[in-house]
Chains A and B, each alone.
Chain A
């Protein structure tokens, strides 16, 4: 069972008010609209379904899942491998930029907001144990491990200290030192693991956040009504679920990313004459 605090964290991390610049990314959607490749809400839904099945599932979710497992095992190298491979699988430079900017901002944000050790006596010891405790558990067991931590029970922010604790801090340092890029799904995988969310839940949060962000981007570009957008969002839920189920525990080597038309759109957007979005 996911604790209430972990669920709240999942909502926080997939909320569009999370200040990591998501509103500046359209991952090619702006170009599709500029070139009139997408005109109806149904076509927009098909595009996002394609993203989910071709990129968010087999690339982002695979990286996220591997990062989550690696964080549970205290294995920084595993996190770095997921980050490197996701970057190598993402061909449009703007897509990589949007992803790494958001990822790094999330790391910075959490270091700022959730980084200070809570002064509650036992909390210090629990934080010290956090990495070791998680390292002995398997991916699924991490939920219980964190819930078993008295400092992370219901009512406490499960991200408290996460940002200065073990793998999150090590990964942030690696990004800072230029040894990693800090792709958003990888950061999310690590952070969610520390917060007591399973990799499947983290995958759902990532896919939901991506889809809602892209739908919102399309809406701001001005062609779709609010009910049409919400209809597409709910229609995409089964796809979000199925790609999260299918890919959250996949091997890192199995990562694929195939959305050549979206790649072309993203690449064209880099040189577009008119642009409201960074990607």
Chain B
């Protein structure tokens, strides 16, 4: 057993876009669907972060399937140029839990150019939030254009930050072609089911 034997889902995106909140919504749903799930968060910086992460899955996952990976102040290196330490962590997971089905790998908050190494993530989703402005897709950052799934989070904030969701939707379609985009409001669990469906369809049923 090793990292090649499990499905690996990468979640990238800018700081504050809601990657952690999305992971916290995805885990219970995947768990309920019968999958054995592990979680890796890159760039957990403080002990408090690490404790909070572990606590947040305490009723769902064994504590040794929730881990932080420090990336030496290089979040993009950890998921793109040199994913070896993430892969090593997944190997640790599979050694202890050969039944593992899927690992969610949350990147440290980064810029729009961050992409996942295809040898690290079988499925790469890029998470942005409406609060960052409706011009994000138009910038055509590699994260937005190359992700298997674009997640536009915090839709509930759109009226407050003067963002038109239709503009976002049209721009995403323009820059991503046929690749899917999902709108979510993690707080209200809106759209999360669609994300789970996409993951299942793309890599877990395959």
Contacts and interface: CB of A to CB of B under 8 A. Distances in A.
Contact of B70 (A17, A221, A271, A276): A276
Contact of B74 (A19, A104, A220, A271): A220
Contact of A23 (B46, B47, B82): B82
Interface range for A: 20 to 34
Nearest to B77: A23
A277 B71 CA distance: 6
Interface in A36-57: none
Given A24-B72, A217-B72, A275-B45, A19 B88 contact: no
A276 B72 contact: yes
A273 B87 CA distance: 25
A278 B72 contact: yes
Contacts of A127: none
Category for how many chain B residues contact A: 20 to 34
Contacts of B69: 24, 278
A85 interface: no
A25 B72 contact: yes
Given A220-B72, A276-B73, A278-B72, A17 B85 contact: no
A274 interface: yes
Contact of B82 (A20, A272, A274): A20
A23 B70 CA distance: 10
Contacts of B63: none
Contacts of B46: 273-275
A21 interface: yes
A101 B70 contact: no
Chain A residues touching B, majority SS: loop
Most central of B70, B84, B87 by chain A CB within 10 Å: B84
Nearest to A105: B84
B83 interface: yes
A22 B85 CA distance: 9
Interface string B45-63: 1111000000000000000
A244 to B, nearest CB: 25
Complex A-B, nearest 5 residue pairs according to Cβ-Cβ distance, in ascending order: A19-B82, A220-B73, A21-B85, A105-B84, A23-B72
Interface of B: 43, 45-48, 69-74, 77-78, 81-85, 87-88
